[in-house]
Structure 1
Amino acid sequence: MTVAVPGGDLTVLRWPARTPHAPTVVAVHGITANALAWGTVADRLAGQAVLVAPDLRGRAGSREVTGPFGLARHADDVAQVVQALGLGPALLLGHSMGAWVGALTAVRHPELVRRLILVDGALSFPLPAGVDEDDALAHVLGPALARLSMTFPDRAAYRDFWLAHPAFAGAWTDRWDAYTQRDLVGEEPELRSSCVPDAIRQDGREVLLDEDAAAAIHRLPCRAELLWAERGLLDEPQGLYDPARIERAGLDGTRVPATRVPGSNHYSIIGGAAGADAVVERILDGGSAA
Structure 2
Amino acid sequence: MSPTDANAGTGSSNWSGAADPAGHPPYEEVRVAVDGGELAVLRWPAAAPDAPAVLALHGITANALSWARVAHHLAGRATLIAPDLRGRAASAGLPGPYGIPAHAEDAAAVARALGLRAAVLTGHSMGAFTAALTAARHPRLFGAAVLVDGGVGFPAPVELSADELLTAVIGPAMRRLSMTFADRAAYRAYWQAHPAFRAAWSPWADAYVQRDLVGTEPELRSSCRIEAVRVDGVGLFAPEVLDAVHRLPFRTPLLWAERGLMDEPQGLYDPGRLAAAKLDPDLVVPVAMPGTNHYTALIGDEGARIVAGHLLAAAEARSAQD
Deviation per residue, 1:253-282 (Å, 9 max, x gap): 232110100101000001111111111111
Conserved? CA contact 2:152–2:242, under 8 Å: yes
The residue number in structure 2 matching 1:273 is: 301
Out of 124-133 and 186-195, give the one that drifted further: 124-133
Conserved? CA contact 1:94–1:119, under 8 Å: yes
Matched, 1:201 2:230: yes
Distance 1:222 1:157 in 2: 44
Distance 2:240 2:157 in 1: 19
The residue number in structure 2 matching 1:259 is: 287
The residue number in structure 2 matching 1:173 is: 202
Paired residue for 1:136, among 165, 168, 185?
165
Distance 1:44 1:113 in 2: 22
Label 1:129 to 1:68 Cα distance change in 2 as closer, same or farther (>3 A). closer
The residue number in structure 1 matching 2:19 is: none
Tell me the SS of whatever aligns to 1:141.
helix
The residue number in structure 1 matching 2:257 is: 229
Conserved? CA contact 2:251–2:282, under 8 Å: no
Deviation per residue, 1:181-238 (Å, 9 max, x gap): 110111111111000111000000011x210000000011122111100100000000
Tell me the SS of whatever aligns to 2:40.
strand
Conserved? CA contact 2:60–2:233, under 8 Å: yes
Question: Structure 2 counterpart of 1:62, which letter?
Answer: S
The residue number in structure 1 matching 2:142 is: 113
Tell me the SS of whatever aligns to 2:56.
strand
What is the Cα deviation at residue 132 of structure 1? 3.6
Distance 2:201 2:160 in 1: 34
Deviation per residue, 1:20-39 (Å, 9 max, x gap): 22111000000000000001
Question: Structure 2 counterpart of 1:91, which letter?
Answer: V
Identity, % of aligned positions: 56
Tell me the SS of whatever aligns to 1:44.
helix
Unaligned runs of 5+ in 2: 1-29
Matched, 1:102 2:134: no
Q: What is the TM-score of this pair, normalised by structure 1?
A: 0.97
Matched, 1:54 2:83: yes
Deviation per residue, 1:96-126 (Å, 9 max, x gap): 0000100110111111121110000010112
Distance 2:276 2:94 in 1: 38
Question: Structure 2 counterpart of 1:254, which letter?
Answer: D
Unaligned runs of 5+ in 1: none
Question: Structure 2 counterpart of 1:206, which letter?
Answer: G
The residue number in structure 2 matching 1:242 is: 270
Higher relative contact order (CA 8 A, sep 6+): 1
What is the Cα deviation at residue 171 of structure 1? 1.2
Conserved? CA contact 1:113–1:222, under 8 Å: no
Matched, 1:126 2:146: no
Distance 2:174 2:133 in 1: 23
Conserved? CA contact 2:121–2:146, under 8 Å: yes
Aligned length: 289
What is the Cα deviation at residue 284 of structure 1? 1.0
What is the Cα deviation at residue 161 of structure 1? 1.1
What is the Cα deviation at residue 286 of structure 1? 4.1
Conserved? CA contact 1:98–1:121, under 8 Å: yes
Question: Structure 2 counterpart of 1:213, which letter?
Answer: V
Paired residue for 1:145, among 171, 174, 188?
174
Distance 2:101 2:314 in 1: 28
Conserved? CA contact 1:88–1:112, under 8 Å: yes
Distance 2:64 2:314 in 1: 24
Out of 15-24 and 133-142, give the one that drifted further: 133-142
Matched, 1:77 2:106: yes
The residue number in structure 1 matching 2:220 is: 191
Distance 1:170 1:17 in 2: 30
What is the Cα deviation at residue 18 of structure 1? 1.3
